[in-house]
């Protein structure tokens, strides 16, 4: 019987272990820039990098090997393809669900102040007569002579929406972006196009006032307004287009929607300031409110429940800079971009009718 020395047996064991490791185990590289990639034993996926070609539908961060992490989603809803980036199995940075998205229609009909299709939440406790405001004419008229009549701008231009309709949102769903093709600026552009297609000339400011700093946004947008009004004194109406953010308890979000002609639209809300409480230097706030109640009535007439109850607050919102100023919220950050774009079309239609009626 052949006897092997202890040293030989030890070396043989090491060699066998080496063969096992080389034949069945793949260690993934951890040299991904901007990412902590854990080294893991993937004995069930000996092909390593080819694992990503499997048909399993998970959400991974969209990076090439060695590229800097962008934070964008990869679309794995399509069939597997050789064009899909090859990546190691354990670099599966999955989205973390933060909360649910609650889709609901928010009724305006429970508002504490109302008259003839005008529903208002009068949190300012202002002394107002909706009937009088609705029936009185505006102090200005809209001309279709090629000169700018309307200014659209965005105090919070980076406000954005969900890319797709989901029952939840994750840490990858960014509520803000500086991309003006994907944020509230695009919504303002749709409203502009509706007005201009009906002969009302519009200036649309795409200036971003809330990035990189959010604080001071209203002061910066006031500078923009004053500069444009100086250059275009023909402007009668200024519109600050936003999108809302509505919590549904804890970390959940609400997507306010209404079905209009078989299609979902993001509900909208007019937000108006007033010279009440501690607010001063806003003497023409009722003239602004006159325009707002006419719009609220028009929204409800044209598209029932498109508009939530108007919110009247003890604020200025830069509305002291014009007799025809209003702020409108288009949906919330839980609405999809498509829902918001549809609402912008509807809002544009109703604004045209009000302004033409006052022309």
Q: What is the mean pLDDT of the chain?
A: 82
- Residue 95 pLDDT level (bands cut at 50, 70, 90): confident
Q: Average pLDDT in the 342-346 region?
A: 98
| Higher pLDDT among residues 3 and 329, named by residue | 329
Helix 184-196 / helix 337-357 crossing angle, nearest 10 deg: 40
Instruction: State the pTM of this model.
Output: 0.75
CA–CA distances in Å: residue 49 to residues 20, 39, 41, 43, 199: 19, 14, 13, 13, 58
Percent of the chain residues past pLDDT 90, beyond the cut? 72
In this predicted structure, the answer to whether residue 61 has a pLDDT above a threshold of 80 is no
Assign 28 a pLDDT band (cuts: 50, 70, 90).
very low
Euclidean distance between CA atoms 202 and 196, whole angstroms: 7
Nearest Cα to 188, choosing from 221, 140, 226, 216? 221
pLDDT tens, position by position, 214-223: 999 999 999 9
pLDDT value at 254 more than 60: yes
What tokens appear for 274 in the block?
A: 């007033």
Q: Residue 174 has what pLDDT?
A: 92
Write out the two tokens for 206: 């795409």
Residue 278 tokens read as: 């501690």
Per-residue pLDDT reduced to its tens digit, 37-46: 222 222 222 2
Q: In angstroms, rounded to a whole number, what is the distance separating the alpha carbons of residues 336 and 265?
A: 9
Q: Which pLDDT score, from 0 to 100, does residue 50 have?
A: 29
- Write down all domains in the chain, each with its CATH number in brackets: 1-94 (no CATH), 101-357 (3.40.630.40)
CA angle 72, 176, 96 (to 5 degrees): 50
Average pLDDT estimate for 145-171: 97
Q: For residue range 130-141, what is the model confidence (pLDDT) as tens digits?
A: 999 999 999 999
pLDDT confidence bin for 4, thresholds 50/70/90: low
What's the token pair of residue 62?
């969209």
350 touches 293 (CB < 8 A) = no
The CA distance from 353 to 167, in Å, is: 36
Whole-number pLDDT of residue 45: 28
pLDDT number for residue 249: 86
pLDDT higher than 70, residue 72: no
Confidence class of residue 49 from pLDDT cuts 50, 70 and 90? very low
pLDDT digits (tens, 9 = 90+) for 187-243: 999 999 999 999 999 999 999 999 999 999 999 999 999 999 999 999 999 999 999
More confident residue, 311 or 357: 311
């Amino acid at each position: 019987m052949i006897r092997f020395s202890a040293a030989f047996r030890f070396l043989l064991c090491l060699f066998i272990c080496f063969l096992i490791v080389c034949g069945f185990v793949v260690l993934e590289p951890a040299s991904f820039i901007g990412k902590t990639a854990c080294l893991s034993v993937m004995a069930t996926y000996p092909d390593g990098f080819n694992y990503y070609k499997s048909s399993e539908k998970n959400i991974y961060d969209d990076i090439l090997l060695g590229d800097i992490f962008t934070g964008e989603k990869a679309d794995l809803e399509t069939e597997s393809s050789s064009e899909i980036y090859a990546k190691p199995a354990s670099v599966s940075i999955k989205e973390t669900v933060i909360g649910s998205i609650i889709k609901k229609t928010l009724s305006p009909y429970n508002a504490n102040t109302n008259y003839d299709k005008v529903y208002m939440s009068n949190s300012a406790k202002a002394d107002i007569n909706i009937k009088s405001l609705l029936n009185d004419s505006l102090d200005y008229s809209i001309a279709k002579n090629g000169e700018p009549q309307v200014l659209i701008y965005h105090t919070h231009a980076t406000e954005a929406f969900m890319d797709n309709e989901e029952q939840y949102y994750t840490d990858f769903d960014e509520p803000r972006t500086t991309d003006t093709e994907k944020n509230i600026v695009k919504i303002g552009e749709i409203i502009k196009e509706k007005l201009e297609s009906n002969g009302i000339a519009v200036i649309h400011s795409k200036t971003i006032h809330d990035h990189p700093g959010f604080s001071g946004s209203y002061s910066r947008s006031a500078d923009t307004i004053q500069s444009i009004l100086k250059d275009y004194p023909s402007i009668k109406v200024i519109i600050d287009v936003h999108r809302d953010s509505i919590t549904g308890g804890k970390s959940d979000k609400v997507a306010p929607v209404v079905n209009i002609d078989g299609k979902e639209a993001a509900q909208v809300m007019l937000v108006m300031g007033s010279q009440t409480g501690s607010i001063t230097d806003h003497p023409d706030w009722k003239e602004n409110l006159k325009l707002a109640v006419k719009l609220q009535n028009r929204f409800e007439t044209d598209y029932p429940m498109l508009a939530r109850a108007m919110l009247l607050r003890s604020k200025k919102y830069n509305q002291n800079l014009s007799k025809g100023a209003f702020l409108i919220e288009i949906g919330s950050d839980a609405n999809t971009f498509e829902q918001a774009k549809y609402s912008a079309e509807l809002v544009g239609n109703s604004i045209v009718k009000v302004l033409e009626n006052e022309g």
